[in-house]
C-alpha cells in the first residue's frame, strides 16, 4: 500500500492569506563598503517569506543596497537602494534569501514568514541555479 506525504507547496494560496510568522533582525552592521568590492552578504530566512520590510537606520549618507541575488547586487543590475533613514515599502515577495551591501552601519529587516519550507523554492526544478527567485542569472549581462 502506498503512503503519501502531502505538504503545502509554493502556490498554496492559504499559506499567503494568513498572517506571517514574525521574523525580525535588527542592528545589522556588517554591510561591507561598496568600495571594498566584496561579495554581498547573505541573509537566509528559515522559511519562505510572505513579505519583507527593510529600514535603513544608518547615519547620514549611508546607503543600503539589497536585492534577491548576489549577482544582481554586486553587478548593479537588479537591486534596490535605500538611503539613510529610509524604509522600504512592504515587499510582497516569496524568497528564501536576501543579499545586501553598501556603506550602511545599521539596518533592520522585518518579515512575515509562511509555513513553507525553503526547499519549495531552493530546488533545481523551481530555480535551476539552486537558490531563490533571483531575477538574474549566474552570468553577468552587459
pLDDT score at 13: 81
Average pLDDT per block of 10 residues along the chain, 142 residues long: 73 82 82 62 91 85 86 84 92 90 83 88 59 48 39
Q: Model-level pTM?
A: 0.78
In the structure grid, which three cell numbers stand for residue 136, read together? 538574474
Q: How would you class 41 by CB atoms within 10 Å of its CB: exposed for 0-12, middle for 13-18, buried for 19 or more?
A: middle
Distance between CA atoms of 129 and 68, rounded to whole angstroms?
13
pLDDT score at 139: 43
Distance between CA atoms of 52 and 80, rounded to whole angstroms?
13
Contact in structure between 8 and 14 (CB atoms under 8 Å): yes
For the chain, which domains are there?
17-120 (2.60.120.770)
pLDDT score at 53: 97
pLDDT score at 125: 60
pLDDT tens across 48-64, in order? Answer: 999 999 999 866 678 88
In 12-141 the beta strands, taken as DSSP E runs, fall at 21-28, 41-44, 49-56, 64-67, 80-82, 97-102, 107-113
Amino acid at each position: 500500500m502506498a503512503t503519501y506525504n502531502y505538504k503545502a507547496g509554493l502556490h498554496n494560496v492559504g499559506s499567503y492569506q494568513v498572517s506571517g510568522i514574525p521574523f525580525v533582525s535588527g542592528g545589522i552592521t556588517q554591510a561591507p563598503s561598496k568600495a571594498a568590492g566584496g561579495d554581498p552578504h547573505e541573509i537566509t530566512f528559515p522559511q519562505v517569506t510572505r513579505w519583507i520590510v527593510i529600514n535603513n537606520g544608518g547615519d547620514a549618507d549611508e546607503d543600503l543596497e539589497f536585492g534577491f541575488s548576489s549577482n544582481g547586487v554586486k553587478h548593479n543590475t537588479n537591486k534596490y537602494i535605500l538611503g539613510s533613514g529610509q524604509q522600504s515599502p512592504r515587499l510582497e515577495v516569496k524568497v528564501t534569501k536576501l543579499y545586501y551591501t553598501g556603506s550602511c552601519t545599521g539596518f533592520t529587516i522585518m518579515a512575515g514568514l509562511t509555513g513553507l519550507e525553503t526547499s519549495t523554492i531552493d530546488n533545481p526544478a523551481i530555480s535551476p541555479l539552486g537558490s531563490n527567485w533571483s531575477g538574474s542569472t549566474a552570468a553577468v549581462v552587459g
